[in-house]
Amino acid sequence: MALPQPSAPGLPIPNAPHAVSVQLSSWKNVCGVALGETQVLSILKNGYPRSFLHKDVQALFRACETKFAPGGGLKVMLFSSPRAAEACKSYIASVERHKQQGDISDWIALTSLGWEPFSPPQSQSNLPMLYAVTYPEGWHATATTFWRLAGLGISSRLSEKCLERVETMRKMESMPRSLSHNDTEVYSILQSRIATLIERAAITDRPKKVAASDVHLYPSGMAAIYTIHQMLLRWRGAESAIVGFPYELTIKMLETYGPRYSFYSAGTDREIDLLEAHLEQLASTGQKLQAVWCECPSNPLLRTIDLDRIRRLATKYDFVVVVDDTIGSYANVDVLDIADIVITSLTKSFNGFADVLAGRQVLHLPRTSTKQLTSIVNSAILNPNSPYHSTFHSLLHSPSSSNNNSTLYLMDAIQLELNSRDFLTRTATTNTTAEYLVDTLIPHTLRPNSPISTIYYPKHCWSAPNYRRRMRRPTPDFVPGYGYLFTLEFKSVGGATAFLDALEVHKGPSIGAHVTLALPYVQMVMQREKKWAEGHGLRESIVRISVGLEDKEALAGAFGVALREAERVMDDYCD
């Protein structure tokens, strides 16, 4: 069976209005995008929504600039939450962060925008309130950094609908403190589906089950990460730690919003020994860690740290464990016996078709020692016996609360609900195909002239026992596997370049799509930080593969052709 023909360079993946990826076609194009080369950027019709503003988002921003900030010199950025708009203003205006010479907050305006005729935005035909941040053009780079870092910006679907009615958009008199459009059935369906999947084939029989009300939806996975970190800062405001190499924006978010963090990038037993020594030192001075952030498994090296040991340390030293299970997915792995908070990017395999940006987080109550944490976001399960009950209740309902549970746009939620109906079926396919491809490729690494030095995959990793301990129980309808992602490390950049350029699959950002996506990860994500990345085990010659729903034998044939081309080009690649 033939593989789908990859899109032309610069076109969306998939070729649809709200795609979240873009065809980059070659190693040179990937590097050109990462370096901001005009010639390459000019061909892009799309990109990952947090890093590349969708054309409808850009058009709506321009329309609002013309309508509400005439005269030029001012830019507008839009959010669907007043808290997100205020956070954007604070980020731009931070004197300490951006080394301004004085308070610049007076130069930044916050405006709430409604629609005529004014009516509550509770039906599909109505649009939610928008919240505009207006700022001088010279600070646009800073504003777009916040957009990417926090993941709280409006979606392309919302922008598309707003453009249809932009003539009826009007300034409101004040910034409403809260306004929800989540009281529609689709949100409840999504929350119930996710809660059911989280409890399906659990590793242990937990006394308290996740309810739909424990599931909180966000406009992106990064928004969930950002919101949880803000919540934890209000709770304890102390040092965090990262164990294992996580999604790179998690690192940047912790760097930006401090107060400080420690980083154990390899996540080996030796590094966890160092973490334990650090915890002991903190305890000796009466201090506590705030949280440990980790993934199951990590992106892009697919390692799984000893989560059971992290849980024991958390119980002993009283800190929160936050686990991102996006790569393993809650079809394959169950981390709820470990984590106080589980975060997932719903954009990836849960949605599965690369056309919705969304995220969620679940706060669970698995242990007495951390009961108070459930009260931070979900007041329905506040523990009245917790000494922190009143404190967290106040945090939840205070004006500074950053709970953004109401900002996933309705039409995005509807598409997410439709796409996720066959989540388990799709996951079974991608599990099987990824494992088949890796098992097919491993013999190639044993040949003397092989261009591949290492294959990173949870099944074939020093951390495989840690991953297997988190695998769900098999059931008649689904057998858990090792996920849809693997990474190839080449002996040279030249070999990696030849392989990528010859590989007849789609090449672009994002993962968990219905089509296979190949990406030279460091070249795209850490182009200007290659030495730092290599110091943490990420070499610039890696190519990450996100397996789609294509025929596995056809994919294996395409990989074989690309490998033969890489074998012919074993010299170093020159930029």
Residue 75 has pLDDT above 80, yes or no: yes
CA distance 19 to 515: 12
- Stronger pLDDT, 342 or 283, i.e. the higher one: 283
The pLDDT-based confidence of 379 (bands split at 50, 70, 90) is: very low
129: pLDDT strictly greater than 80: yes
Distance CA 78, CA 96 (A): 24
Q: What is the rounded average pLDDT of the residues 136-159?
A: 92
Q: How sure is the predictor about 209, in pLDDT bands with cuts at 50, 70 and 90?
A: confident
Q: List phi, psi (to 5°) of 323.
A: -120, 130
In this predicted structure, the answer to whether residue 368 has a pLDDT above a threshold of 80 is: no
pLDDT at 397 over 80: no
Percent of the chain predicted with pLDDT > 70: 85
Q: With a cut of 60, say whether residue 372 has pLDDT above it.
A: no
* Burial (CB count <10 Å: 0-12, 13-18, 19+), residue 132: buried
Confidence of residue 121 (pLDDT cuts 50, 70, 90): very low
**Highest-confidence segment of 177-191, 252-266, 298-312, 441-455:** 298-312
Taking residues 547-560, what's their average pLDDT?
A: 97
Place of tokens 């034998």: 553
CA–CA distance, 548 with 439 (Å, rounded to integer):
17
Residue 214: the pLDDT is 73
Rg over CA atoms, the chain: 23
Distances (CA, A) of 185 to 182, 189, 213, 559: 8, 6, 13, 44
- At residue 443, does pLDDT exceed 50? yes
**Residue 383: is its pLDDT beyond 50?**
no
Peptide bond into 300 cis (omega under 30): yes
Q: Residue 572 pLDDT > 60, yes or no?
A: no
| Least-confidence region, from 43-47, 277-281, 430-434 | 43-47
Provide the residue type at 111 as one letter. T
CB atoms within 10 A of CB 197: 19
Q: Are 155 and 49 in contact (CB under 8 A)?
A: yes
**Side chain identity, residue 43:** I
Evaluate if pTM is beyond 0.85: yes
User: Distance (Å, rounded) from C-alpha 444 to C-alpha 451?
Assistant: 9
Report which of residues 211 and 69 the model is more confident about: 69
State what percent of residues in the chain have pLDDT above 90: 62
pLDDT band at 384 (very low <50, low <70, confident <90, very high): very low
pLDDT of 370 strictly over 80: no
CA distance 425 to 391: 43
Domains contained in the chain, CATH given: 11-43+422-572 (3.90.1150.10), 55-171 (no CATH), 185-420 (3.40.640.10)
Question: Both ends of the chain: CA-CA distance in Å?
Answer: 36
CA distance 174 to 379: 27
- pLDDT tens digits, 483-512: 999 999 999 999 999 999 999 999 999 999
Widest pairwise Cα distance in the chain: 72
- In whole numbers, what is the pLDDT of the chain averaged over residues? 85
- pLDDT of 363 higher than 60: no
Question: How many Cβ atoms are within 10 Å of 246's Cβ, its own excluded?
Answer: 21
Mean pLDDT of 95-124: 69
Distance CA 22, CA 7 (A): 9
User: What mean pLDDT is predicted for residues 337-362?
Assistant: 82
pLDDT value for 97 = 57
Task: Strands of 273-358 (E only): list them.
Answer: 291-295, 320-324, 341-345
Report the relative pairing of strands 341-345 and 320-324 from DSSP bridges.
Answer: parallel
Q: In the structure, what pLDDT confidence band is assigned to residue 382 with cuts at 50, 70 and 90? A: very low
Query: Which pairing describes strands 452-456 and 517-519: parallel, antiparallel, or unpaired?
Result: unpaired
Q: How confident is the model at residue 546 (pLDDT cuts 50, 70, 90)?
A: very high
Asked whether the CA dihedral 366, 367, 373, 374 is positive or negative, the reply is positive
Range with lowest mean pLDDT among 143-147, 365-369, 507-511: 365-369
pLDDT in tens, 86-107: 999 999 988 555 565 567 778 8
Of the pLDDT bands very low, low, confident and very high (cuts 50, 70, 90), residue 123 is very low
Mean pLDDT, rounded, for 133-162 = 93
CB 223 within 8 A of CB 404: yes
pLDDT of residue 105: 76
Question: Does 339 have pLDDT greater than 50?
Answer: yes
